[in-house]
Chain A
């Protein structure tokens, strides 16, 4: 081979070496989370959480399959609880709504008995979404299993009536949602609402796939118009960083602020469908309160469990049993984090997640209203 040819070959090889490689983008929904649970594995492995989150932090095994676990947080200075049904890595501004059809005999008053919801985009798709544009498809008095694709409904329904948005994560049929507060808040003995469940079907090349779904109700998210259509807007969820810079997912998180409506059955946060995780870099001396480590402070507090896992700017306040808890500067709301720490210590991560709020201010949140 001539020297010119060798140079040419090396040049082409070097050009190839500059090529780009895979950029990780992952979605863990309840199908992936349950699979990880069964394999005793982790989910959300990413730069932000290199080791990931044990699936057993999100789902617990039950006699019939698995059950959602309520995770602790603080929102607006009060204890809160949420459940995680999806986690996305590198999907920021890239979660869209998808259409879901409820079959009705007539224009919105009489559903087709036992007919499942009809969807087209399944849990394995990059474009899977737990955020649905609900439509009423008026199909007449038909058998419940007659339609199982949106194309068939668009072809045959006499009317398609938009019916708002709902947050309804798809689930394996054996995953349930008998919600209960986690330790140590379980000592409060506050009963949480069971999340309503349903079923959805999609056509997969002639085969009908059946899925379960949870219905967390309407108005848990807002859409923002982007160049690539209307995407679900994420609220910030703050996770405190460990000393090594990775996220400490063992302590309660802080939920960003949003609209809350007061229902007859309790306060109802009208947000929390989609969160973007922010990493909180703590200054030296900050840390979470644990009553077992500070019994004097714990005994002084009227409700010490309400402070369990709550971060303070200066953890030495836990030692002052005269002023605890009012003497502490708590990092327990978005406003506190932004004003006390400043934006420079709040860094967005590549992770977004679903996280409907099911508990707040020591009350069960009415999840489906």
Chain B
């Protein structure tokens, strides 16, 4: 666990009792308090915002406008050609019979390549938009500026309102030349209308409310580097309205929370469903209910999530996507355990599929389910301000486009996170991707690293 992460979690720990997280926060090196608090607040999980953002409104000590950010620079190498596509596989669409998201190289979920290659006739093989963003490095080792992130946070002095904007720049050398993508990752305003209650209403483009992995979307908060094989379904930001409410049960050191959002596209990542407009006119509703137990040396958080609404890569309002999930996190004595189960069901919709990557042909009936589980342990080394946290994650995903080949894949990720103070994190990890059933075996393991400079 990094110092910054610990600080965020500590702030989120709903009672400032002398627990593990608070201790970590206290151990953190001194930095300008207001700036650090602000930095910890802007990225932290929305489910925890109510605590970070006291219902009494803005802190009178806080500067009204705080600008923070981070730079994530990586070096990655994928096996093979950087894709999950077998060179002799000519099924149409090619991306339906493999997992193109497997060879991820950074915290954005970008893969080394999505180049489909050509068929025996020399024609590009057909893919149909079940694709992540690509870093475009193929099998060639390369430095990558994964993300240059800038956050602007304005807190009103008069009313309990906060306005937040997150912009990210992603430079890539495409086949057409050098380009820098600019993503408006988040842009929302949030009001806490009731002083005596942990209730926050956000309107704009904001984080997902489904599950827990969205909490780690940003490289400076993620213990590891790459997202799970399920992040594509649960971690996308979208535009709409969100309400968060938490009720504390102090006598039993517990709290219940509810996070509900109605958005254009739900929680799929933008490469699968764009969020900037609704194609159906009907919002997607997602919600998570959570319970947390916070004892002095033990913290347990569990939750259940659901999502339903028209899929936003087509325009038939009757074509539904339905997701269910369950998640759990346990923090005890430097050990962090977390995991999530996700089930996805998308109905077949209208043709002329539109995603964040462009237009494709048909939308297909699709099912997927699986889980990920992660363990991380911050070694108790007396070398402050250095923190060393080895981690490992296992995940298994089953997916099927109806009457196409059903596939089962798994992935083992192992890595090391070294934090130095609050402004530097160095991470390295290795991904072992395996095609267990339905998908041809390909060499698509990845070794990747990340240096995150936070300011």
Q: A230: nearest residue on chain B (CB-CB)?
A: B123
B282 CB to nearest chain A CB (Å): 6
Given A127-B96, A203-B438, A18–B281 Cβ distance below 8 Å?
A: yes
Contact in complex: B124, A205 (CB < 8 Å): no
B24 CB to nearest chain A CB (Å): 45
A64 CB to nearest chain B CB (Å): 26
Q: Taking each of B88, B282, B315, which has the highest tally of chain A beta carbons within 10 Å of its own beta carbon? A: B88
Given A122-B403, A151-B440, A20–B121 Cβ distance below 8 Å?
A: no
Contact in complex: A23, B89 (CB < 8 Å): no
**Does B100 lie at the interface of the complex (its beta carbon under 8 Å from any beta carbon of A)?**
no
Given A151-B438, A151-B439, A223-B123, A19–B281 Cβ distance below 8 Å?
A: yes
B114 CB to nearest chain A CB (Å): 14
**Does A25 lie at the interface of the complex (its beta carbon under 8 Å from any beta carbon of B)?**
yes
Contact in complex: A97, B92 (CB < 8 Å): yes
B residues less than 8 Å from A182 (CB atoms): none
Q: Which of A20, A22, A99, A151 contacts B90 (CB 8 A)?
A: A99
A267 CB to nearest chain B CB (Å): 27
**Does A354 lie at the interface of the complex (its beta carbon under 8 Å from any beta carbon of B)?**
no
Contact in complex: A22, B350 (CB < 8 Å): yes
Given the complex of chains A and B, what is the CA–CA distance between A125 and B400 in angstroms?
Answer: 11
Given the complex of chains A and B, what is the CA–CA distance between A16 and B351 in angstroms?
Answer: 20
**Does A246 lie at the interface of the complex (its beta carbon under 8 Å from any beta carbon of B)?**
no
Given the complex of chains A and B, what is the CA–CA distance between A31 and B150 in angstroms?
Answer: 56
Question: In chain A, residues 224-249, which have Cβ atoms closer than 8 Å to a Cβ of chain B?
Answer: 225, 228-230
Contact in complex: B406, A205 (CB < 8 Å): yes
A275 CB to nearest chain B CB (Å): 20
Contact in complex: B317, A99 (CB < 8 Å): no
A residues less than 8 Å from B125 (CB atoms): 229
A24 CB to nearest chain B CB (Å): 9
Given the complex of chains A and B, what is the CA–CA distance between A206 and B440 in angstroms?
Answer: 15
Q: Which of A17, A96, A154, A223 contacts B121 (CB 8 A)?
A: A223
B298 CB to nearest chain A CB (Å): 40
B193 CB to nearest chain A CB (Å): 16
B residues less than 8 Å from A229 (CB atoms): 92-93, 119, 123-127
B residues less than 8 Å from A127 (CB atoms): 92-93, 96, 362, 364, 404
Given the complex of chains A and B, what is the CA–CA distance between A149 and B119 in angstroms?
Answer: 20
Contact in complex: A228, B126 (CB < 8 Å): yes
Per DSSP, are chain B's interface residues mostly helix, strand or loop, or mixed? loop
**Does B35 lie at the interface of the complex (its beta carbon under 8 Å from any beta carbon of A)?**
no
A residues less than 8 Å from B438 (CB atoms): 149, 151, 203, 205
Contact in complex: A125, B401 (CB < 8 Å): yes
B residues less than 8 Å from A19 (CB atoms): 280-282, 315, 317
Binary interface encoding of chain B residues 276-317 relative to chain A, with 1 for a CB under 8 A from any of its CBs, else 0? 000111100000000000000000000000000000000111
**Does B128 lie at the interface of the complex (its beta carbon under 8 Å from any beta carbon of A)?**
yes
A residues less than 8 Å from B351 (CB atoms): 23, 25, 90, 94
**Does B357 lie at the interface of the complex (its beta carbon under 8 Å from any beta carbon of A)?**
no
Contact in complex: A204, B282 (CB < 8 Å): no
Given the complex of chains A and B, what is the CA–CA distance between A15 and B277 in angstroms?
Answer: 12
**Does B97 lie at the interface of the complex (its beta carbon under 8 Å from any beta carbon of A)?**
yes
Binary interface encoding of chain A residues 110-134 relative to chain B, with 1 for a CB under 8 A from any of its CBs, else 0? 0000000000111111111100010
**Does A150 lie at the interface of the complex (its beta carbon under 8 Å from any beta carbon of B)?**
yes
Given the complex of chains A and B, what is the CA–CA distance between A29 and B361 in angstroms?
Answer: 20
Query: How many residue pairs at the A-B interface have CB separations less than 8 Å?
Result: 132
Interface size class of A (residues with CB under 8 A): 35 or more
Contact in complex: B402, A160 (CB < 8 Å): no
Given the complex of chains A and B, what is the CA–CA distance between A133 and B364 in angstroms?
Answer: 22
Given A21-B316, A154-B89, A121–B403 Cβ distance below 8 Å?
A: yes
B333 CB to nearest chain A CB (Å): 42
A274 CB to nearest chain B CB (Å): 15
Q: A157: nearest residue on chain B (CB-CB)?
A: B88
A residues less than 8 Å from B400 (CB atoms): 205
Q: B281: nearest residue on chain A (CB-CB)?
A: A19
Contact in complex: A22, B440 (CB < 8 Å): no
Given A151-B438, A225-B123, A228-B360, A22–B405 Cβ distance below 8 Å?
A: no
B residues less than 8 Å from A149 (CB atoms): 405, 438
Given the complex of chains A and B, what is the CA–CA distance between A23 and B280 in angstroms?
Answer: 13
Q: B120: nearest residue on chain A (CB-CB)?
A: A162
Q: Which of B86, B120, B404 contacts A154 (CB 8 A)?
A: B86
Given the complex of chains A and B, what is the CA–CA distance between A120 and B123 in angstroms?
Answer: 21
Q: B119: nearest residue on chain A (CB-CB)?
A: A230
B residues less than 8 Å from A202 (CB atoms): 405
**Does B91 lie at the interface of the complex (its beta carbon under 8 Å from any beta carbon of A)?**
yes
Q: A224: nearest residue on chain B (CB-CB)?
A: B123
**Does A363 lie at the interface of the complex (its beta carbon under 8 Å from any beta carbon of B)?**
no
Given the complex of chains A and B, what is the CA–CA distance between A18 and B119 in angstroms?
Answer: 41
Q: Which of B91, B316, B403 contacts A124 (CB 8 A)?
A: B403
B residues less than 8 Å from A154 (CB atoms): 86, 88-89, 440-441
Contact in complex: B280, A155 (CB < 8 Å): no
**Does B41 lie at the interface of the complex (its beta carbon under 8 Å from any beta carbon of A)?**
no
Q: A225: nearest residue on chain B (CB-CB)?
A: B123
Given A125-B401, A154-B86, A154-B440, A22–B126 Cβ distance below 8 Å?
A: no
16 A-B pairs with CB atoms under 8 Å apart are A20-B317, A22-B350, A23-B316, A90-B351, A94-B351, A97-B90, A99-B89, A127-B93, A151-B440, A151-B441, A154-B89, A162-B120, A205-B437, A205-B438, A229-B119, A229-B123
Given A120-B97, A121-B403, 13 extra CB contacts under 8 A:
A19-B282, A19-B317, A22-B319, A23-B316, A25-B350, A96-B126, A126-B348, A127-B364, A133-B120, A202-B405, A205-B400, A229-B125, A229-B126
8 closest A-B pairs by CB? A229-B126, A19-B281, A125-B403, A20-B315, A124-B403, A96-B92, A154-B440, A230-B123
Residues of chain A whose beta carbon lies under 8 Å from any beta carbon of chain B? 15-23, 25, 90, 94, 96-99, 120-129, 133, 135, 149-151, 154-155, 160, 162, 202-206, 223, 225, 228-230
